[in-house]
């Protein structure tokens, strides 16, 4: 089934000038880019995006980090996008990520792990909608 997922190239990815390399890996893996932009999240916007994690030990650090510099949200589409993207990026902790995954190759630690990926088809739709209006998404057939 065709699914949408949201990727966010996090501030560490942008700071390390890896956005082009990560986008190239995403495209090579067969994902279609429907929308892409570079933004700087405020703490309030970051808190709203990660609201599902509010109250967890890592929430404050996550909000602080994602709002610490520019990031690049990308709306992606592909057959089995959720599972395929999570396989492409690897485990949250780069020390546990498989060789050849984005996080294994580029991330420094669990807190600064280069990229966000939606964890379900439902969240993929919601997360894409958080950053992109339907008018901004370009369907590629």
Active site residues: 116
Count Cβ atoms below 10 Å from residue 112 Cβ, excluding itself.
Answer: 16
- Are 3 and 124 spatial neighbours (Cβ–Cβ below 8 Å)? yes
DSSP tag of 98: P
Terminal C-alpha separation, the chain: 15
- Neighbouring CB atoms inside 10 A of 18's CB total 19
Place of tokens 């950053």: 131
């Amino acid at each position: 089934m065709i699914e949408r997922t949201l990727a966010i190239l996090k501030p560490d990815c942008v700071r390390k000038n890896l956005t082009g390399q990560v986008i190239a890996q995403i495209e090579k893996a067969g994902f279609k880019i429907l929308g892409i932009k570079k933004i700087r999240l405020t703490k309030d916007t970051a808190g709203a995006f990660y609201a599902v994690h509010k109250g967890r030990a890592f929430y404050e650090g996550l909000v602080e980090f994602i709002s610490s510099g520019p990031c690049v949200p990308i709306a992606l589409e592909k057959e089995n996008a959720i599972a395929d993207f999570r396989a492409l990026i690897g485990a949250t902790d780069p020390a546990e990520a498989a060789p050849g995954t984005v996080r294994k190759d580029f991330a420094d630690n669990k807190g600064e792990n280069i990229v966000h990926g939606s964890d379900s088809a439902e969240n993929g739709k919601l997360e894409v909608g958080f950053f992109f209006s339907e008018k901004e998404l370009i369907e590629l057939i």
